[in-house]
Amino acid sequence: MSEVVRKYELIYIHPGNLPSEDVEAVDEILNGILEHMAGELLHREDWGVRALAYPVQKHAEGRYILLRIACPADCLKEIERRFKITESVIKFLSIRLPDDYVQEVIPEEPEVAVEEAAEEVTEKAEEVSEEENVEEAREEGVEVVAEEAAAEVEAARSSDDAEDENPGEE
């Protein structure tokens, strides 16, 4: 007779100063239990180090890890037993999810979308900047051409005036 597989949400807290190797060791233990007892890891989310509302085992900060798993009740009991005897887990909470719970699709890297949007804005800003530079160059070019034309006209007038003063010198 097979056991009923239910879905659970499990959140646990490591001490904030715990090295990442120890966090990975707890993950390996969990994965081993899930494999051995026919469980499945549906989702894992590391919330990072946050300040605790009150000191827990003399720790002011903790690293929060959220898991969603599908496993038999015995598997969950074993995970909770291991959490109780593991020093690197200072607090945990497990909740049974509804039977009709469906894992929502969470975008894996929201930062990627933000970075892409930032790149688009930067490219557009560069295009606008280039267009403004071209317009400024055109305006400056018109001014330079106008100045050169004015200088040529002035030079032509001066040479005409010089010819008028000395009419017999040609």
For 87-116, the pLDDT digits (tens) are 999 999 999 998 887 776 655 555 666 666
Phi first, then psi: give them for residue 150, nearest 5 degrees.
Answer: -65, -40
Residues 26 and 89 occupy one common structural domain: yes
User: In the chain, where does DSSP find H-type helix?
Assistant: 20-36, 73-85, 110-165
Residues 18 and 102 occupy one common structural domain: yes
Task: Tell me what pLDDT residue 96 has.
Answer: 94
pTM score, whole prediction = 0.58
In a domain, 1, yes or no: no
Which tokens is 46 given? Answer: 């590391």
In a domain, 27, yes or no: yes
Domains: count for the chain: 2
Residues 77 and 141 occupy one common structural domain: no
In a domain, 15, yes or no: yes
Q: CA 13 → CA 55, 64, 71, 122, distances in Å?
A: 12, 5, 21, 40
Three-state DSSP state, 3: coil
Poorest-confidence range of 11-25, 62-76, 92-106, 140-154?
140-154
User: Averaged over 38-57, what is the pLDDT?
Assistant: 93
Residue 56: which of 14, 21, 9 has the closest Cα?
14
Which tokens is 158 given? Answer: 């001066």
Predicted confidence (pLDDT) at residue 120 exceeds the cutoff of 80? no
Q: Which residue has the tokens 């280039």?
A: 130
Which residues, at least 6 apart from 73, have a Cβ–Cβ distance to it below 8 Å?
3, 4, 6
Please report, for the domain that includes residue 73, its CATH number: 3.30.70.60
The one-letter code for the residue type at 57 is Q
In a domain, 159, yes or no: yes
Residues 12 and 28 occupy one common structural domain: yes
Burial class (CB in 10 A: 0-12, 13-18, 19+), 97: middle
What percent of the chain clears pLDDT 70, i.e. is strictly above it? Answer: 67
Structural domain harbouring 154 = 108-170
Q: CA 44 → CA 41, 62, 134, distances in Å?
A: 7, 17, 52
Residues 17 and 92 occupy one common structural domain: yes
Residues 11 and 79 occupy one common structural domain: yes
The one-letter code for the residue type at 20 is S
Residues 62 and 10 occupy one common structural domain: yes
Predicted confidence (pLDDT) at residue 30 exceeds the cutoff of 50? yes
Q: First CA to last CA across the chain, in angstroms?
A: 125
